Amino acid sequence: MNLPLVSVVITTKNEKKNIENCLISIQNQTYSNVEIIVVDNYSTDTTKDIALKYTLLVFDKGPERSAQRNFGMIEVAKGDYVMFVDADMILSPFIVEECVNTSPLSPLLKGEGYVALHISEIVLGKNFFSKVRRFERTFYDGTVIDGARFFKKAAFVQVGGFDESMSGPEDWDIDKKMKQIGKIGLV
């Protein structure tokens, strides 16, 4: 059986303290057909060197996350599904498999039903914003506070990807755009 390819895109900028743990968590997925793409915003540390130990698909692109994500998810990704993660995230080893195989997502494989999924995350980073995100999650037990992260690539392309003029609320904007063309599930 041919498993659909899932392209996982990580956007980075001086993430040498976080990127390796993130990449290991992707490499250790139980789902085997995963392509890892790192789109770096011209880091001045060793982020790209670390990333190259895990994938040859490492690119420089700026100026912001929206442009980086669109480049990786639309221009580079070969997958039937695209997923973005932040460099300070650690994924559960089953998350990609869950996204592709769980019954709520099975309509996605037939081209109907969900066009995207919300995914719970574990935030690893030690910087201020990582600490803020971890703290925020203590107030939102069982609710969705992030935008969708896992997409049917054709649907992501259909809505035009991220709005590159936005920096900050782009996650919420893509969520809104995806809801205009279909349902978003939760894993």
Examine residue 1 and state whether it is found in any structural domain, yes or no: no
Residues 6+ apart with CB under 8 A from 26: 8, 10, 34, 36, 54, 85, 91, 96
Which CATH number covers residue 17?
3.90.550.10
| Domains identified in the chain, total number | 1
Domain interval for residue 49: 6-186
Q: Alpha-carbon dihedral of residues 71, 75, 79, 82, nearest 10 degrees?
A: 30
pLDDT in tens, 43-94: 999 999 999 999 999 999 988 899 999 999 999 999 999 999 999 999 889 9
Examine residue 89 and state whether it is found in any structural domain, yes or no: yes
Q: pTM of this prediction? A: 0.83
Examine residue 78 and state whether it is found in any structural domain, yes or no: yes
Q: pLDDT-derived band of residue 168, with 50, 70 and 90 as boundaries?
A: confident
